[in-house]
C-alpha cells in the first residue's frame, strides 16, 4: 500500500532556497535562462531576498500600478515590475517604500529606475533595480497586475519564486521548487568537496579535467 508523502510547505522551500547563493541556483536551471541580466542589481549589496512574485506591468513613465500593487500584495511578496523599457523616471521612491514596508512587502525588483536611493537604503528596504533617475513619473495610466512580465530578460509569472543577492536575481518557476532546491544542495556539497581538495593541494586543471586543452 502506497503512503502519502507530505510535501514541504512553500514557506519551508523558500527558507531552504534562501540559504543558497543565486549563482548556485542559476546553475541548476537550464542554460542560465532564469537569471536576470547583469543590469538588475541590488541598491544595497547586503540585501538578500526570497519570496513569491507579485508581478506588475507599468506603462512607460507611470507608476500608478506600483501603488495599486502595494495595496493588493500579501505580506512577504516581492513586487516584480516592468516599466516597459522606460528608465528616465524614478518609478519607486521613499513614500511608496514606506507604504510597502507597512504592508509587509518583502522587496521590489524593478526593470526600471528608482529615486530617493539614500532614503530607501536608510529604511533598509531591499530594492533590485536597473538604474536611478531623479525625474518624476505620472500616476494616470492603467497597466496590469499579476500577469507574466519580462524583467531583466526573464519572463516572470505570478507566484514564481524570486531569489536575489549581491550577484543578481534568479527566477525559479513555481512548479520546480523542490527539484531545484535538491539540485542546489547537491551542487553546494560538490563545490565544498572541490574546495577541500584544492586546500589539500590539488589543482583546478586536474579536478575539472582541463589538461586536455594544454598546447591548443
**Per-residue pLDDT tens for 159-170?**
999 999 999 999
pLDDT at 108: 98
Is residue 202 pLDDT above 60, yes or no?
A: yes
CB of 121 closer than 8 Å to CB of 44: yes
**Per-residue pLDDT tens for 138-183?**
999 999 999 999 999 999 999 999 999 999 999 999 988 999 999 9
Distance in angstroms (rounded) separating the CA atoms of residues 108 and 80: 6
Tell me the whole-structure pTM to 2 decimals: 0.92
pLDDT at 1: 45
| 10-174 CATH choice from 3.30.750.200, 3.50.30.40, 3.40.50.300, 3.30.390.10 | 3.50.30.40
**Per-residue pLDDT tens for 113-123?**
999 999 999 99
SS3 state at 180: helix
| Residue 121: Cβ-neighbour burial (10 angstroms; 0-12, 13-18, 19+) | middle
b/e map 127-151, b = 16+ CB within 10 Å: bbbbeebeeebeeeeebebbeebeb
Mean per-residue pLDDT for 68-80? Answer: 98
Mean per-residue pLDDT for 96-103? Answer: 98
* Cα atoms in the Cβ-side hemisphere of radius 13 Å centred on 212: 4
C-alpha cell of residue 75: 505580506
Q: Tell me how crowded residue 113 is: count the other CB atoms within 10 A of its CB.
A: 22
Of 15, 13, 36, 32, which Cα lies nearest the Cα of 24?
32
Question: C-alpha angle 116/118/122, rounded to 5°?
Answer: 115
Amino acid at each position: 500500500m502506497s503512503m502519502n508523502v507530505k510535501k514541504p510547505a512553500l514557506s519551508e522551500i523558500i527558507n531552504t532556497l534562501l540559504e543558497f547563493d543565486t549563482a548556485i541556483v542559476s546553475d541548476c536551471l537550464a542554460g542560465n535562462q532564469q537569471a536576470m541580466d547583469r543590469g538588475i542589481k541590488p541598491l544595497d549589496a547586503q540585501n538578500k531576498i526570497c519570496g513569491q512574485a507579485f508581478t506588475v506591468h507599468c506603462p512607460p513613465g507611470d507608476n500608478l500600478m506600483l501603488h495599486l500593487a502595494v495595496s493588493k500584495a500579501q505580506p512577504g511578496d516581492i513586487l516584480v515590475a516592468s516599466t516597459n523599457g522606460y528608465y528616465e523616471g524614478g518609478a519607486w521612491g521613499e513614500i511608496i517604500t514606506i507604504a510597502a514596508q507597512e504592508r509587509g512587502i518583502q522587496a521590489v525588483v524593478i526593470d526600471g529606475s528608482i529615486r530617493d536611493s539614500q532614503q530607501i537604503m536608510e529604511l533598509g528596504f531591499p530594492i533590485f533595480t536597473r538604474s536611478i533617475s531623479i525625474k518624476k513619473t505620472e500616476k494616470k495610466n492603467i497597466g496590469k497586475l499579476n500577469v507574466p512580465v519580462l524583467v531583466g530578460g526573464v519572463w516572470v509569472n505570478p507566484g514564481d519564486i524570486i531569489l536575489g543577492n549581491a550577484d543578481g536575481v534568479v527566477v525559479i518557476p513555481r512548479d520546480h521548487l523542490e527539484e531545484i532546491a535538491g539540485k542546489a544542495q547537491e551542487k553546494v556539497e560538490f563545490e565544498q568537496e572541490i574546495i577541500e581538495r584544492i586546500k589539500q593541494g590539488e589543482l583546478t586543471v586536474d579536478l575539472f579535467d582541463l589538461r586536455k586543452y594544454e598546447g591548443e
